[in-house]
Amino acid sequence: MSIELRELYQEVILDHNRHPRNRGKLEEATGYAEGHNPLCGDNIQVYLHTNGGLVEAVSFEGSGCAISTASASMMTEAVKGKTLEQVEAMFKEFQSMVTETGHAEEHPELGDLEVLGGVREYPVRIKCATLPWHTLKAALVGEADKVSTE
């Protein structure tokens, strides 16, 4: 394992990677999208069920590295029960957390996702962390096309 991975593999990430939350297909999904990160080989499918502007259920499947799996797992926990506006705000907050250096270190609204802020130091890992979010967004707007980070 490389040094950069070891530094990133914090306990929360490891736990979500070993025991992903909300993994599996969703029956009666209202939205679905697939995402692919060719740089790392991460593949993800996101299923969601929205009702009246609320994310009632969300799940994911796929195979990917620990970062993408943990990010997907944490994301599903974070957006469940949220309004579409709240999800959009979280997406933006997460995106800026992992891409902007010097960004505020406190992200209480992101919960566990905050531990992924460390990927900021490793550009090649940023796409692993953001892939689930891009895929979720595609599922929300009903884009059937496969999402790619490239």
Q: Under the rule (CB under 5 A), what is the footprint of Zn ion? A: 40, 42, 65, 68, 128
Q: C-alpha distances in angstroms, 131 versus 42, 51, 70, 103? A: 8, 24, 11, 20
Q: Shortest Cβ distance from residue 150 to Zn ion (Å)?
A: 13
Which residue spans within 16-107 are E strands per DSSP?
31-37, 42-51, 54-63
Q: Which is nearer to Zn ion, 17 or 68 (CB)?
A: 68
Q: For residues 59 and 145, is the Cβ–Cβ distance under 8 A?
A: no
Q: Which is nearer to Zn ion, 65 or 136 (CB)?
A: 65
Q: Shortest Cβ distance from residue 39 to Zn ion (Å)?
A: 7
Provide the CA 65 distance to its chain's centre, in angstroms.
12
Q: Which is nearer to Zn ion, 57 or 128 (CB)?
A: 128
CA dihedral 52, 88, 115, 46 (to 10 degrees): 60
Q: Shortest Cβ distance from residue 37 to Zn ion (Å)?
A: 6
Q: Shortest Cβ distance from residue 111 to Zn ion (Å)?
A: 21
Q: Which is nearer to Zn ion, 34 or 42 (CB)?
A: 42
